[in-house]
Structure 1
Amino acid sequence: MEEKMIDCQNVSFKYDSSSENDSKLAVDDVTFQVKKGEFLAILGKNGSGKSTIAKHMNALLVPTNGKMYVENLDTSDEKNIWNVRNKAGMVFQNPDNQIVATIVEEDVAFGPENLGIDPKEIRERVDDCLKKVNMYKYRKHAPHLLSGGQKQRVAIAGVLAMRPHCIIFDESTAMLDPSGRREVMNTIKEINDSYNMTVILITHYMEEAAKSDRIIVIDEGKIAMEGTPRNVFSQVEKMKKLGLDVPQITELAYELKKSGVNIKSDILTINEMVNELCRLK
């Protein structure tokens, strides 16, 4: 049986509201599991509840109703919080909020130092994690001199150095330019592929979600769609009804099909599109 990294069981969450009649749930009876080593993308328009769900995965929030388990640890049990956060690291939208030191390697060492790790091992972890995110040559640099993408990769190295079993990226590419986004996405994919680490990616970018194993679409606090990227993105009209886009190449395939071209509707990459168009000749 495949082991579960995250087990979300009928979770509902309500932010405390000042007005009595505002009883809207931010998360409404959501159930899903994430297998160890899986790359899951969570999509949803602003205010859909996707970041609220993410914050439950490392006990920044605890369910109003239902249960969230991280490697079988109940996140609502205060005794588990430290362990939950060690198992599930989180990388946020703004790297500046996550970088605490004035030199890159000191920043990456900050987490392991707080865990009480032996200094010799910290040195090894820092070098190893900076190499993993292609930032080793910047280890003596000041973080504030780096580009947004480089800062975000340092933030990822800082989380990796704590050896979590799972990393949650909460819109971690939202503030970056396209090349910074590409750098960070390559790093995320590498972490998942090479180290078999569980990755949960909350994103607005459909091209990023297309690289995942599975997608969950959240709408008004509920799961509206779930499946492989190919399965979810081929449902163009349903996605648009939910206020979301699909990858540009999938949309192009959809429009071509609509105009009578005999083409597959579940195309995700430019190469697949080229192959389909060559087939038509």
Structure 2
Amino acid sequence: MENNMVECSNVTYKYENTEENTFDLALDNININIKKGEFLVVLGRNGSGKSTLAKHINALMVPSSGTVMVDGLNTSDEKNLWDVRNKAGMVFQNPDNQLVATIVEEDVAFGPENLGVDPKEIRQRVDESLKRVGMYSYRKHAPHLLSGGQKQRVAIAGTLAMKPECIIFDESTAMLDPSGRKEIIRTIKDLNKNANMTIILITHYMEEAIDADRILVMDNGKIIIEGSPRIVFKEVETMKKIGLDVPQMTELAYELRTAGINIKEDILSIDEMVKELCQLK
């Protein structure tokens, strides 16, 4: 469908366990469509398959069976490789692994230069991308002197300079302190709302998922819950069973309900909780 950025049909990925001479299923018959302009969050504990799924969308991996289409391009077709990676950029967990130059603006220019983009156009893209992530005033700085959150914003600018339509953030906030995490989430939301970019955020932090359009919860290579944050986080027991938390306020609502207090179960934020408690008779 034209409106879909990503279409996964019966996607299975097996990797060989050489020690035991067996195959382990990392993705088990995944079927999802991700709409253009959607903000999708993928949750799951380590080994659930979420990073493997991310790498399939960027064609770093191709399915053992089934198909992944990115804006109509089949990722299993080698001749589509660069087009797929142009459409779906990726920002990884450790920004140090993505920074290649000694000056911020040179780092951001690296991708478009490799694509053979005209130098004038590169200049424009670099400036625009750095402004978009709030790092333009640091363009002459050395990346290794920046904070973790700033480095990650430079890495995002480097991805933006390639002009992707979709960005996959593979646990891009995992190595950051709380203020660095907030910076990145603010940037991600801005790209989604104001640049109309499709965002796929893979995270361990439940609070980062509250503003998503849709959440997928993965376990053992399967999608086990899917829906809006309110629908997904209501499933407190299922989430706990697979070793995941829920946002603090949802947890509190769950505990209060368990204690016999009549309170909504789909509360996500402090404001909602305060409002709900004030209405209790």
| Shorter-chain TM-score above 0.5 | yes
Partner of 1:122: 122
Looking at structure 2, the residues matched to 57 and 246 of structure 1 have their Cα atoms a distance apart, in angstroms, of: 26
Q: Gaps spanning 5+ residues in structure 1: where?
A: none
**Pairwise CA distance, 1:16:** 2.6
Deviations 1:134-188 (A, max 9, x none): 1111111100000000000000000001100100000000000011000000000
Specify the code of the residue in structure 1 equivalent to 2:145.
L
Looking at structure 1, the residues matched to 68 and 206 of structure 2 have their Cα atoms a distance apart, in angstroms, of: 26
Partner of 2:38: 38
Report the secondary structure of 2:23's partner residue. Answer: coil
**Pairwise CA distance, 1:49:** 0.7
Looking at structure 1, the residues matched to 280 and 208 of structure 2 have their Cα atoms a distance apart, in angstroms, of: 28
Deviations 1:217-252 (A, max 9, x none): 110001111000110001101111111100111101
Map residues 105-144 of structure 1 onto 2, 5 A cutoff.
105-144=105-144
Contact 1:92 1:172 in 2 (8 A): yes
Higher mean alpha-carbon deviation, 8-17 vs 157-166, is at: 8-17
Contact 2:16 2:24 in 1 (8 A): no
Q: Gaps spanning 5+ residues in structure 2: where?
A: none
Looking at structure 2, the residues matched to 108 and 262 of structure 1 have their Cα atoms a distance apart, in angstroms, of: 53
Contact 1:2 1:35 in 2 (8 A): no
Partner of 1:211: 211
Partner of 2:230: 230
Partner of 1:186: 186
Looking at structure 2, the residues matched to 2 and 63 of structure 1 have their Cα atoms a distance apart, in angstroms, of: 22
**Pairwise CA distance, 1:2:** 6.2
**Pairwise CA distance, 1:21:** 4.3
Looking at structure 2, the residues matched to 99 and 128 of structure 1 have their Cα atoms a distance apart, in angstroms, of: 18
Report the secondary structure of 1:23's partner residue. Answer: strand
Report the secondary structure of 1:85's partner residue. Answer: helix
Specify the code of the residue in structure 1 equivalent to 2:135.
M
Contact 2:15 2:25 in 1 (8 A): yes
Runs of 4+ in 1 over 3 A off after TM superposition: none
Partner of 2:172: 172
Contact 1:26 1:52 in 2 (8 A): yes
Report the secondary structure of 2:244's partner residue. Answer: coil
Q: Does 1:197 align with 2:197?
A: yes
Percent identity of paired positions between Structure 1 and Structure 2: 71
Partner of 1:49: 49
Looking at structure 1, the residues matched to 162 and 2 of structure 2 have their Cα atoms a distance apart, in angstroms, of: 24
Looking at structure 2, the residues matched to 129 and 3 of structure 1 have their Cα atoms a distance apart, in angstroms, of: 25
Partner of 2:97: 97
Partner of 2:251: 251
Higher mean alpha-carbon deviation, 248-257 vs 34-43, is at: 248-257
Alignment size in residue pairs: 281
Looking at structure 2, the residues matched to 233 and 136 of structure 1 have their Cα atoms a distance apart, in angstroms, of: 38
Looking at structure 1, the residues matched to 148 and 20 of structure 2 have their Cα atoms a distance apart, in angstroms, of: 42
Looking at structure 2, the residues matched to 206 and 127 of structure 1 have their Cα atoms a distance apart, in angstroms, of: 33
Higher mean alpha-carbon deviation, 254-263 vs 156-165, is at: 254-263
Looking at structure 2, the residues matched to 41 and 52 of structure 1 have their Cα atoms a distance apart, in angstroms, of: 14
**Pairwise CA distance, 1:83:** 0.3
Partner of 2:79: 79
**Pairwise CA distance, 1:17:** 2.5
**Pairwise CA distance, 1:23:** 2.2
Give the TM-score, by structure 2 length. Answer: 0.98
Looking at structure 2, the residues matched to 52 and 241 of structure 1 have their Cα atoms a distance apart, in angstroms, of: 22
Structure 1 residues 85, 2: closer, same or farther in 2, change over 3 A? Answer: closer
Report the secondary structure of 2:263's partner residue. Answer: coil
Contact 1:230 1:267 in 2 (8 A): yes
Report the secondary structure of 1:24's partner residue. Answer: strand
Partner of 2:11: 11
**Pairwise CA distance, 1:18:** 1.2
Report the secondary structure of 1:61's partner residue. Answer: coil
Looking at structure 2, the residues matched to 74 and 86 of structure 1 have their Cα atoms a distance apart, in angstroms, of: 14
Specify the code of the residue in structure 2 equivalent to 1:253.
A
Report the secondary structure of 2:192's partner residue. Answer: helix
Superposition CA RMSD, Å? 1.1
